[in-house]
Amino acid sequence: MEEQIKHYTRDGLTVIWKPAQCIHSTICWKGLIKVFNPRARPWINIEGADTERIIEQVKKCPSGALSYIQNAHTATPDGTIQDSSTSVEVLKNGPLMVYGNLRVKDSAGNEVVKSKVTAFCRCGASANKPYCDGSHMRIGFTDDRG
C-alpha cells in the first residue's frame, strides 16, 4: 500500500502532511489553529497565516508528519530541504527530538534516512521503537529531572 501524502501550496510554500507518521501530539493546531484545524476540511488552511509563522509551527511537529518546501530548487527529490546542521531537544515529559538529517540503523541492521524532525521514544512504551508513537501521554510519562 502506497503512503498517503497531502500537499498544500501557496506563494512558494508547500506544507506536506504524511498522515501515517502523525502521532496526534496536537502541537500543530494548538499552536496555530487558523492553519491547522482538525475540525475543518481540508484541515490545513495554507492561507491562515503568513509563511514565516506556518514554517515556525511546522518545525515544531514532533513526528515529522508535517514538513515544508520553500524555493523548490533547494529541495531534494523526496521533497525535503537539505541542511547540514543537526540539533537535539528533550521535550518535557515527551520524546527526544532530533532536527536535521540522520541515518537510523535498527537492531537488524536496516538503515533509514530521516530528515527534518525525528521523534525518538524516551518513555519505553512506544510500539514503534526507537520512534515515539505518543505512548508517553497514555502512560503518564514524566521526566525525572525535576
CATH number at residue 24: 3.30.70
Question: Which three cell numbers, joined as nine digits, stand for 69?
Answer: 518546501
pLDDT value at 72 more than 80: no
- Do residues 7 and 64 share a domain? yes
79-113 pLDDT per residue, tens: 555 544 677 888 889 899 887 778 888 888 888 88
User: What's the pLDDT score for residue 100?
Assistant: 74
CA dihedral 108, 112, 118, 119 (to 10 degrees): -20
User: What's the pLDDT score for residue 108?
Assistant: 87
- Do residues 52 and 87 share a domain? no
10 confidence band (pLDDT: 50, 70, 90): confident
Picking from 45, 77, 109, the residue at the C-terminal end of a domain is 77
Query: CA-CA distance, 98 to 35, in Å (whole number)?
Result: 24
Give me the chain's average pLDDT, please: 84
Stated pTM of the model: 0.52
